[in-house]
Structure 1
């Protein structure tokens, strides 16, 4: 669906040349929700704007649904962009127009016949749950309702791709969840490919299938969301995941422990099995649980346990080997003292 090949975007600023996007290559599949994560200045929004050529890449190629957008200009490019919807953090609704008129504006700009516009707008209002707000103005809406109008407007011309640039950053947690559920519904029911830019790992965890992590304009880690959450490779990925699943244990608790402290990560169905209790019984050990949680990512469990082990050293090593043979990842955080 979206093929990005060796794409770079260079900006000439008063302080010199800045690489907003640096030689990025990505493949985004049809019908998936793909998250691009990074801190401010990582290049993620620049990359997103290159996907629909709001900004033309300095080098590289970008293909959307089989069409190389970097080869298009003028009217062919305008027509290609109609198949790429986009929503932003700040909505950008026209305050002097009603909800109906805001959505209809996109259709009028695409020269859709007037008799088709009403039917299309009403269908979109029903999809985003705002049929009762048809004739009100943006100032009368909540933030979540404004974003729903923006989503309806982005869907007006039946796009194949929906780009979301920090679409939930200005919303409270409850409203964010409702907007994410709406995006998931749109993805599933309309088979629209969604590319979602965010700095919030909770957003990615909630609805994305695959993801890329960007830093200094480059993609430093990429893959299935579950895989990255369960086995992050880079320091930045670990930092982002820690913002969602915290393993911090008070230093006073750590100092009180005399045995080794280990972190055990269970992936898939084994996360719901009693591996820890089986291990403690089989090797005559005692376990002091310091942290434990089971996260659900794409409806698959990911179990994470941090505990102090007490018992003979040889038995502890046998126990850790046994746990690893049960398809778990074991990391010794601190040896026994």
Structure 2
């Protein structure tokens, strides 16, 4: 478990002090994948680097598995850091060393006995799907393969926590997906707690269990990924989610609508039921679909629809109430013209 309490990080600049992290409180459970989302300058990278004390906080505490890292120094801190692996956006592989040597570098840092190193390297390469790249140099690898080496290196010393600093930002979409699936596989098989920062909601949607949204050094929203996608609270979170789930409809289409515009949300198993079809059959209304999609988040469906409903006002009101009674969330965003 990671417990962050009242964490602050202040930087000294020529123009004066700059607050990177401002009184952040977070609890990340053992074995979960936790995403931290924010635009550049939000403080997410500073927060991540504070977790393993690459950046020493100005105030507050960081407990990892019951130990407050801010109170550790020297050899004690070095040993604690060995149990916190880190994956970087730009890989940081040693170009003059082979894949096996890059991974061995992390093992040497932990004083792993030489007779155990070779077998551990083979084990790690098998884990990340690079058994045939053992003696290859980084320049001969694709971006995705380089990141797989970075993951193997981060896992070398059996960490309890894996920190991912924009680990997929430099990769194309297909490679990003393969890396995210690898991380999820590692999380499930090894029960490693993963904390990743990103500005891409698709990354969070793909593998995270819970998430936090940061702005100006603060956490402005936190919770289960499914809950946040289905019911975002802050404008910033809504903005991020709109990059994945959008209700954009041409204004000319909206202007042509004379009925009541209704946004309908279906959560969980309700998304698979024919509620709208049943509603149209049961009430004297006409429904015109303007936009609709079903997203799968944490393997659960989330249905989102924008529709124009025409009919007598009382019939339309009863139809909306019926959908809500069946478990949908209906929001009237414009009454009929």
Whether these two folds match at TM > 0.5 is: yes
Structure-to-structure mapping, 1:1-337, within 5 angstroms: 1-337=1-337
Q: Deviations over 1:36-67 (max 9, x none)?
A: 00000000000000000000110001000111
Deviation at 1:241, TM superposition (A): 0.5
Distance, in Å, in 1 between the alignment partners of 2:48 and 2:132 is: 33
Aligned length: 337
Distance, in Å, in 1 between the alignment partners of 2:330 and 2:179 is: 37
Distance, in Å, in 1 between the alignment partners of 2:65 and 2:124 is: 23
Deviation at 1:256, TM superposition (A): 1.1
Distance, in Å, in 2 between the alignment partners of 1:104 and 1:146 is: 15
Q: Deviations over 1:236-257 (max 9, x none)?
A: 1110010001110001111111
Deviation at 1:333, TM superposition (A): 1.7
Deviation at 1:75, TM superposition (A): 0.5
User: RMSD in angstroms over aligned alpha carbons?
Assistant: 0.6
Deviation at 1:326, TM superposition (A): 1.7
Distance, in Å, in 1 between the alignment partners of 2:172 and 2:157 is: 29
Task: Decide which moves more: 319-328 or 109-118.
Answer: 319-328
Deviation at 1:180, TM superposition (A): 0.3
Deviation at 1:138, TM superposition (A): 0.2
Distance, in Å, in 1 between the alignment partners of 2:184 and 2:42 is: 26
Runs of 4+ in 1 over 4 A off after TM superposition: none
Distance, in Å, in 2 between the alignment partners of 1:293 and 1:188 is: 29
Deviation at 1:283, TM superposition (A): 1.1
Distance, in Å, in 1 between the alignment partners of 2:72 and 2:230 is: 41
Distance, in Å, in 2 between the alignment partners of 1:327 and 1:63 is: 40
Give the alignment's TM-score, normalised by structure 2: 0.99
SS at match of 2:36: strand
Give the alignment's TM-score, normalised by structure 1: 0.99
SS at match of 1:247: coil
Q: Deviations over 1:149-182 (max 9, x none)?
A: 0000000000000000000000000000000000
Distance, in Å, in 2 between the alignment partners of 1:33 and 1:254 is: 39
Q: Which runs of no fewer than 5 residues in structure 2 stay unpaired?
A: none
Distance, in Å, in 1 between the alignment partners of 2:219 and 2:27 is: 12
